[in-house]
Amino acid sequence: MLDYAAASRFVPLGLSFSPIRGPEGNIEYLIWLRSVEDGEDMPAEVTAETARAVVAAAHETLAGGKEMKRFLLFVNRRKERADEKAKAIREQLLRLGAQRVDIEDQSTRGITALDYDCVVTLGGDGTLIRAARGLAGSGLPLAGINLGHMGYLTVASKDAEIPRVLDKLILDDFTVEERMMLRGRIIRNGHESPRDREWLALNEIVVSRKSSAGPVHFCIYVNGAFLNEYKADGIIISTPTGSTAYNLSAGGPIIDPVARMTVLTPICPHSLYRASIVLRAEDVLEVRIPLEEGGHAER
């Protein structure tokens, strides 16, 4: 910020921080700038050393709201060196001041903010998505460390990046992004089957053909009103987070991951019209498959 001010012909006269966190729990800083006229020599009253001192004071003052001392490492043990990485990260967190660091490899279901302050996943995007389903509604922040091939949702992918991430968690130097999820359920022949249950998705819900060689007839309803129909291999209902996954491969748009909306994208539709449809997060989507095609209504 100081370099940008100098390049824009402004001189910083003062720097402080807000005593109240921002809407996403972030720390907000206030800087006073004065424009410098041509030929005017006015020394800056805020130096890099002063700025570092203000940032340190801000974190020390506001640390109580989100201080992280209890961590759960959710590990995908099928990844190479997963156990070794988990033990090393546990030791580093404890050295940095963590009070409790547990390792889990089965499920995050039932874990709440009463148990931990943060969950760190060790695996790939799939590991993070599985953890997110179990943690839905818990209010626990989730950070991912990539040990696999796909790490678009993770915050560190190289060994050299991991210490920096752990430092930021311990020092309260991070911002929490809230991501929307989808809730889906299956209705067969007009009735909810006892063997079916609700599904949560961080990326997308896909309704596709099971064994048929040809396209399936899908009828789309939004809030009970008919919207469109497709002859296609399937339908993708994506969150903004999942817009860069299967949705993108099927030709759908990329959405800001913190936005609140739903993207409906047909998979290989037998039609000249194949554009995705963007809907509100609050809308209820129904994907119906006519019974004469051997399908079931899906929601």
Cβ(25)–Cβ(13) under 8 Å?
Answer: no
For 289-296, what is the mean pLDDT? 64
Q: What residues does 15 pair with on adjacent strands?
A: 31
Instruction: Pick from 8-17, 26-35, 180-189 the range whose average pLDDT is largest.
Output: 180-189
- The more confidently predicted of residues 19 and 253 is 253
Give the per-residue pLDDT at 41: 64
Q: Record the tokens describing residue 79, joined without a space.
A: 């990844």
Pairing state between β 100-104 and 70-75:
parallel
Catalytic positions are: 125
- The more confidently predicted of residues 247 and 20 is 247
For 280-286, what is the mean pLDDT? 95
- The more confidently predicted of residues 19 and 71 is 71
pLDDT score of 64 more than 60: no
For 62-72, what is the mean pLDDT? 73
pLDDT tens digit sequence for 188-241: 777 766 666 678 999 999 999 877 678 899 999 999 999 999 999 999 999 999
Residues 6+ apart with CB under 8 A from 8: none
Give the per-residue pLDDT at 16: 80
Helix spans in 28-81 (H):
48-62
Sign of CA dihedral 35, 41, 44, 45: negative
Q: Pick from 92, 38, 96, 40: which is nearest to 68 by CA? A: 96
- Local structure of residue 165 (DSSP, 8 states): H
pLDDT tens digit sequence for 107-165: 888 888 888 999 999 999 999 999 999 998 888 899 999 997 778 899 998 888 999 99
Give the per-residue pLDDT at 161: 92
pLDDT score of 296 more than 50: no
- Residues of the chain with pLDDT > 90, as a percent, come to 50
**Residue whose token pair is 């040809």:** 214
Cβ(171)–Cβ(98) under 8 Å?
Answer: no
pLDDT score of 298 more than 70: no
- Return the number of other C-beta atoms located less than 10 Å from residue 104's C-beta: 16
Among 120-129, 220-229, 264-273, 287-296, the minimum mean pLDDT is found in 287-296
- The more confidently predicted of residues 94 and 22 is 94
Residues 6+ apart with CB under 8 A from 16: 29, 30, 54
Residue 66 pLDDT class (50, 70, 90 cuts): low
- pTM for the predicted model, two decimal places: 0.72
For 259-286, what is the mean pLDDT? 94
- Local structure of residue 135 (DSSP, 8 states): H
